[in-house]
Amino acid sequence: MSDLRDDPSPEAAFLRDLVRAEEADLPSTDKMNELVARLSPAISRPPASASRAKLAISMAVVVVAVAGAWLSTSSSSGIDHENVSAPPSIAPVATVAAPAERAPTPAVVVEGAPSLPSIDVTALPTTTSSARPSRVVVPRSTACAGEVALLDQARAALGSGDAARALSLTREHAARCPSGAFTQERERIAIESLAKLGRLDEMRSRAQAFERNFPASPHLRRIERLVEKYRMR
């Protein structure tokens, strides 16, 4: 079956135009930063393997059971409730969902419980928010202020036929945002600008570099078409 791009039918041509226009509709840098920030809590710690997670859960169950048994024994044996003993098992109960390495070993709980010292409830430390980061720090390596506006200008210049200005703006982008989030978009604009300016050797070598650096890029198809178009010139 032939590709859509080889199909000569008017429907295929219409669809190709549509896809070409829609291809640029990618989330902005700000949007990506927001998504990464939302994602950060979930990806900032190493993933727990299934076996470790299972171990953590079973340990937590044991901790809860032992702590429950210990508490019921304490209350039935007439312990003064103003003076609440603070077995280490109480705090870990709250860490059931925590990573495996933080789960306490049952041995500590079982052996430690009977000989624990009593602590007055007022002497217990209050919880602080320092255990959890208050805000997620977005890695700044790829964020670049004004990147989107700069590329918008470049795109507009190219669209209006001013390829020289578009190329110059992509150079500016490369200098200001060497590891920006829209490097591929910049390269695409630069390659198209070079083609329009008739600097075909430069265009070809830059296209090859693009393929080398971004082999999975969705822009490749468009760049390939461009290279094909200028192949015989």
Partner 1 sequence: MTSVRRSPTSALRSLDSTQDLDIVAIVREHGPYVHRLLRRLGVAPADVDDAFQEVFVVVHRKLDSFQRKSSIRGWVYGICVRVGVRHRRRRAARQEVPGAVDELAGTAPTPEATFRTVEARRLLDSFLDKLDDDKRAVFVLYELEGMPMQDVAAMTNCALPTAYSRLRLAREVVFDAIRRFQTEKDFK
- Chain positions contacting partner 1, by CB under 8 A: 1, 3-4, 9, 11-12, 14-15, 17-19, 21-22, 24-28, 31-32, 35-36, 38-39, 42-43, 47, 49, 139, 142, 148-149, 151-152, 181, 204, 207-208, 210-212, 215-216, 218, 220-221, 223-224, 227-228, 231
Angle (deg, nearest 10), helices 200-213 and 183-196: 160
**Euclidean distance between CA atoms 169 and 150, whole angstroms:** 7
**Euclidean distance between CA atoms 35 and 42, whole angstroms:** 12
Residue closer to partner 1, measured from CB, 70 or 182: 182
Tokens 């429907």 appear where? 11
Tokens 């209006």 appear where? 160
> How far is CA 26 from each of CA 20, 22, 96, 133, 181, rounded to the nearest angstrom?
12, 9, 39, 30, 11
Residue closer to partner 1, measured from CB, 81 or 135: 135
Residue closer to partner 1, measured from CB, 1 or 123: 1
Give the nearest distance from C-beta 131 to partner 1 in angstroms: 22
Give the nearest distance from C-beta 220 to partner 1 in angstroms: 6
Give the nearest distance from C-beta 174 to partner 1 in angstroms: 17
Range list of H helices, the chain? 10-22, 29-43, 50-76, 90-93, 106-112, 147-159, 163-176, 183-196, 200-213, 220-229
Q: Is residue 29 within 8 Å of 179, Cβ to Cβ?
A: no
Give the chain's largest Cα–Cα span. Answer: 96
Give the nearest distance from C-beta 17 to partner 1 in angstroms: 8
Give the nearest distance from C-beta 9 to partner 1 in angstroms: 7
Over 83-109, what HEC string results?
Answer: CCECCCCHHHHCCCCCCHHHCCCHHHH
Residue closer to partner 1, measured from CB, 63 or 190: 190
Residue closer to partner 1, measured from CB, 47 or 198: 47
Give the nearest distance from C-beta 59 to partner 1 in angstroms: 21
Give the nearest distance from C-beta 219 to partner 1 in angstroms: 10
Structure token digits, residue 8: 């000569």
